[in-house]
Amino acid sequence: MMEEEEVVHAQGIKKSFKGRVALAGLDLSVRQGQLYGLVGPNGAGKTTLIRILCGLLRPNAGEAVVLGWRVPNFRIRSQIGYMPQEVALYPDLTVMRNLAFFAELYDLPREQLEERAKELLELVDLSDRRSQKVGTLSGGMQRRVSLAVSLLHKPRLLFLDEPSVGVDPRLRRSLWEHFSLLATHDVALVVTTHLLEEASRCHVVGFLNQGRLFAEGSPEELLKRTQATSLDEAFTRLEEQSKVTA
Amino acid sequence: MKTWTIVKHVLLRIGQDPRTLILIVLTPLLFILLYGYSFSSGRPTHLRIAVSNADNGLASIRTAEVGRITLTLSLGTKLVQSLDKELFDVVLTQEPDRIQNDVKSGKYWAGLVLPQNFSHALANEALRERGPQKITHQGRSVELLPPETSEGPLATLYLDDSNPVVTASVALSLNETLTRLVAEQQATPTLTNPIEVHALYGGKVSGLDYTAPGVIGFAMTLITIMLTVISIVRERTSGTLTRTLIAPVRPWEVSLGYTLAFALISLLQVGELFLVSHYLFHIRFAGSPFLVALIVFVYAIGLQGIATLLSTVARNEFQAMQFILVLLIPSIMISGVFWPIDAMPPNIRLLSWFSPLTYANAGLREVMLRGRGISGVTLELGVLAGFALLMLLLGVRSMRRQGYSA
């Protein structure tokens, strides 16, 4: 099989905030059509890494090339999608108005908006809520709208920061099914999570802690390598190993 | 250009949020109504004043022809009647000894004690000042002569001088009333004003007119900056700013969009301030409304820049409020809104040159009070435009940084 195009190529990324190290020289490679799971506890550096790859933060050292351009770069913006951890929507506007505003920012033609909005709201199971103000929706619903907004412009590369927080198990499953579907359509997804059961749905999982990617591989590989029965166990073992070697 | 998308978006959000909308409309209204009504005449009114009038109304005056004659003048009563009814709430009292203490205890702003010989003393003092006067008395012409000795103080005024504005108003009004009273007496020629005054702007500029442009500028500064800072800080803390800045939009487009949208809102608010102050409080509006709008708009753009900068520094809405207070209050003090910059010590005056409100205030005053055209406010407009440009650039820079560090 031919190697798919590398959409994220990061090398030696370092970032610290006021002396606190968030990323300590991190390498990452994500290929087209890949569902990449970034797994790690809170404060491991997942969000910082995503923000750097999106061009929202500049690394202190190292470089990241995303979709062929060294970030931050304006040219990749229309091709990347980002669903932040916070809801990041206008609570005083309706679901549809929120979609319409961001659609306009992404130059989505007006006539396509209607159709695209319908598709996306069906996907996140909120078709009946399109005229409701986002602020009046439940937390989980708000996150689903947030996901819909991130998908509006059909990005080639999608960063999802903890997409399943506050989402019930049934919908979580359907979201992950959709992520897999997107991947088959050559979209690359970088998903952060601290739920290891979710990570098992990814093609490649990267274990992150203290600003370092200490292990990477497909879920099966990682299990095999550690002789573990769950990714939870694998994470703990690999983390201990990395401490010994370091 | 996405700027219009942002402008439309900001206006739409505000337009469909009744609470914000009401705040935007009501805040300036409340501000100007309070200002107009509490400050309306520019001088105090209804000052409580106690008057004890023991005057017997008689004046004994020397004449050239028939020795002393006694005239019934009742000047005390006339004085009490002609006291300015708007300025004073007069309380008549029969107890002159208590007046001093009553003023001291704050019961009255002033206490006027007219002695028994008030008419006598006043008439004689007037003669002494003006020289002999001819009058007709009981069918024959007599010449009234000035007294040989001074009659001493005419009356006693106890004055609560803890408030200079009150002190000045009371003293001025009483003197005016007295002068008029004397002048009205039979056959006494009135003193013509020794100084001829040419009021270049119609002589109709009141204290309210003078402070109105500055107060409007101040209201605008406060409201505009608060609205913008809070909006942007909220966008940042909620993450929507990040989401906007990650889209294919340039930071300058976002920044300019916010600036224009909020500058439009300020323009609307200032329009409201002007309409109310002009039609309800008859604030002088001599110049072109378009020129006023231009000054306001250019100033508003500069304010938006300050607001964008402030919102970068402020981590949350609470901090933003603190910055606003620390920055705004001094700038209002030194901008010549309430007292002229020429009356400030030189080093403070220097400081006032760095406050944009100084120029907005001066420009508005030139147009509103003096009716100047654009050539009369080039300096002010120029400085404001430069300020707006600088702030826009800094605002864009800070918007870019907000995106990176959000």
The ranges assigned to domains in chain B are: 3-40+206-405, 47-184
* pLDDT tens digits along B163-193: 777 877 888 888 888 877 777 765 443 333 3
Average pLDDT, chain A: 91
Residue B200 confidence class, pLDDT cut points 50, 70, 90 = low
Asked whether the ipTM of the predicted complex exceeds the cut of 0.85, the reply is yes
What mean pLDDT do residues B354-379 have?
91
Question: In this predicted structure, what is the pLDDT of residue B190?
Answer: 38
CATH topology classification for A35-47+76-245: Rossmann fold (3.40.50)
pLDDT-derived band at B32 (thresholds 50, 70, 90) equals confident
d(CA B304, CA B260) in angstroms, rounded, equals 8
**B400 shares contact with chain A (CB less than 8 Å):** no
> Residue ranges of the domains in chain A?
35-47+76-245
B406 has a pLDDT exceeding 70: no
Q: Which residues of A touch B12 (CB under 8 A)?
A: 93, 97
* Higher pLDDT among residues A194 and B299, named by residue: B299
pLDDT recorded at residue B312: 79
Closest-CA residue in chain B for A155? Answer: B247
CB neighbour burial string for B256-284, b if at least 16 within 10 angstroms, e if fewer = bbbbbbbbebbbebbebbbebbeeebebb
Q: In a mutagenesis test of the B interface, which of A105, A149, A159 is the best target, namely the one with the most B β-carbons within 10 Å? A: A105
H-state helical runs in B39-135: 75-81, 96-104, 118-130
pLDDT digits (tens, 9 = 90+) for A16-72: 998 899 999 999 999 999 999 999 888 889 999 999 999 888 899 999 999 999 988
Q: Please report the pLDDT score of residue B204 as a whole number.
A: 61
Closest to A39 measured CA to CA, from A219, A220, A241, A221? A219
Query: Is pLDDT above 60 for B405?
Result: no
Span B368-390, mean pLDDT? Answer: 93
- Rounded to an integer, the average pLDDT of A170-179 is 88
Q: How many CB pairs under 8 A join A and B?
A: 67
Contacts of the segment A117-124: beta carbons below 8 A, 24+ positions apart:
A117/A148, A120/A148, A120/A151, A120/A152, A121/A95, A121/A148, A123/A148, A123/A151, A123/A178, A124/A148, A124/A171, A124/A175
Nearest CA in chain B to A47: B406
The region of weakest confidence among A16-20, A111-115, B238-242, B322-326 is B322-326
pLDDT score at B195: 47
What's the mean pLDDT when you consider all of chain B? 84
C-alpha closest to that of B396 among B251, B229, B257, B245? B251
The residues that bridge with A8 in the sheet, in sequence order, are A30, A66
Both tokens of A73, joined, read 């770069």
* Contacting residues of A for B405, CB less than 8 Å apart: 57
SS3 A121: helix
Smallest CA-to-CA distance from A130 within A140, A120, A138 is with A120
Cα distance between residue B22 and residue A175, in whole Å: 41
Determine contact, residues A89/A141, Cβ cutoff 8 Å.
no
Q: CA A115: distance to chain centroid?
A: 25
Average pLDDT over residues A207-214: 91
Name the pLDDT band for A136 (thresholds 50, 70, 90). very high
Bridge partners for A216 per DSSP: A206
Q: What is the pLDDT of residue B67?
A: 85
* Residues of A whose CB is below 8 A from B22: none
Q: Which residue of B has its CA nearest to A91?
A: B238
| Chain B residues touching A105 at Cβ < 8 A | 2, 5, 244, 247-249
Q: Average pLDDT in the B382-387 region?
A: 96
**How many helical (H) and strand (E) elements, i.e. helices and strands, does chain A have?**
8, 10
What per-residue confidence (pLDDT) applies to B173? 84
Bridge partners, A13 (sequence order): A26
Q: What percent of chain B is predicted at pLDDT more than 90?
A: 19
Q: How confident is the model at residue A120 (pLDDT cuts 50, 70, 90)?
A: very high
User: Hey, which of B106-120, B192-206, B301-315 has the most confident mean pLDDT?
Assistant: B106-120
A134-157 mean pLDDT: 93
Please indicate whether residue B405 or residue B159 has the higher confidence score (pLDDT): B159
A72: preceding bond cis by omega (within 30 degrees): yes
Residue B381 has pLDDT above 60, yes or no: yes
Q: Kindly state the average pLDDT of the residues A128-151.
A: 93
Q: Which of A161, A11, A224 is nearest to B243 (CA)?
A: A161
pLDDT band for A213, please (50, 70, 90 cuts).
very high
pLDDT at B191: 36
Residue in B closest to A17 by C-alpha = B405
| CA–CA gap between residue B53 and residue B99 (Å, rounded) | 12
pLDDT for B399 equals 77
Pairing of strands A69-70, A61-66: antiparallel
What class has domain B47-184? alpha beta
pLDDT confidence tier of residue B248, bands split at 50, 70 and 90: very high
What's the CA dihedral at B27, B206, B91, B173 to 10 degrees?
A: 160
**pLDDT-wise least confident of A66-70, B274-278, B379-383:** B274-278
Cβ atoms of B233 and B318 within 8 Å: the answer is no
Q: Is the pLDDT of residue B287 over 70?
A: yes
Can you tell me the mean pLDDT for B316-345? 82
Length of chain A: 246
Nearest to A56 among B9, B249, B406 (CB): B406
Q: Do A90 and B240 touch (CB under 8 A)?
A: yes
Q: Does the reported pTM lie above 0.90? A: no
DSSP reduced 3-state for B327: helix
Instruction: Give the tens place of pLDDT for each residue, A83-96.
Output: 998 899 999 999 99
Closest chain B residue to A76, measured at CA: B248
Nearest to B52 by CA among B105, B102, B123: B102
By Cβ distance, the residue of B248, B403, B406 closest to A106 is B248
A93, A91, A89, A203: which is closest to A150 by C-alpha? Answer: A89
pLDDT of residue B10: 92
Contacts of B17 in chain A (CB under 8 A): 92
Mean pLDDT of A160-173: 86
Over 80: is that where the pLDDT of B129 sits? no
What is the pLDDT confidence band of residue A172, given thresholds at 50, 70 and 90?
confident
